[in-house]
Amino acid sequence: MKFTFDTFIQLFPEIQLPVSVSEESVHTFSAENDPLPEKLVMEHLLPIEPEGDDPDDLTEYIACFRLAEVKNFHAIVYWKAGLLNYQYILATFEKGGKLIDRQVIAGTLSDGSSILRSAARIDTDFTIYIVSGLTEGSEEVYDANLSTTRELELLPDGRVMELV
């Protein structure tokens, strides 16, 4: 049985801006939303994954939210949890389900010796502010000198553009 794109999109509850996502946000999303069914992941998310970024058997996907203010396309955020790699991904689709853009906006990534954590805020003007910090070794001390910031914008056509 093939699930329609509309069935898939309805699994993402609408949310009003502004909204923030961070390492802890997944607890709220996973309490309110079930993991996405494997069939829907295979039909609607795996085809938009970057080449070579194939999930393993333990990778889990959770629907986080859909931006309510967007009318000409769909903008969703989902959480992808792999081994030592947790990502919040903003994906935009045409109304019929064709991908417009895909961007990792927050998450946690570890290579075993350091941990990179990113948090994002999507503001009411569709600006996306991302701050990332790196923790070296087993230290839990955050070094502000290792932080970076990025600013993106969700454009009216659904593309995500980095602001300089």
Residue 141 pLDDT more than 80?
no
User: DSSP letter at 72?
Assistant: S
For the beta carbon of residue 46, count every other beta carbon within 10 angstroms: 15
According to DSSP H, which parts of 13-157 are helical? 25-32, 38-40
Task: Express as a percent the part of the chain with pLDDT over 70.
Answer: 93
pLDDT tens digits, 18-47: 999 998 888 888 888 888 888 988 899 988
Whether the bond into 55 is cis, omega within 30 of 0: no
**Over residues 50-74, mean pLDDT:** 87
pLDDT of residue 93: 98
- Dist. CA 104–CA 15, nearest whole Å: 19
pLDDT value for 62: 93
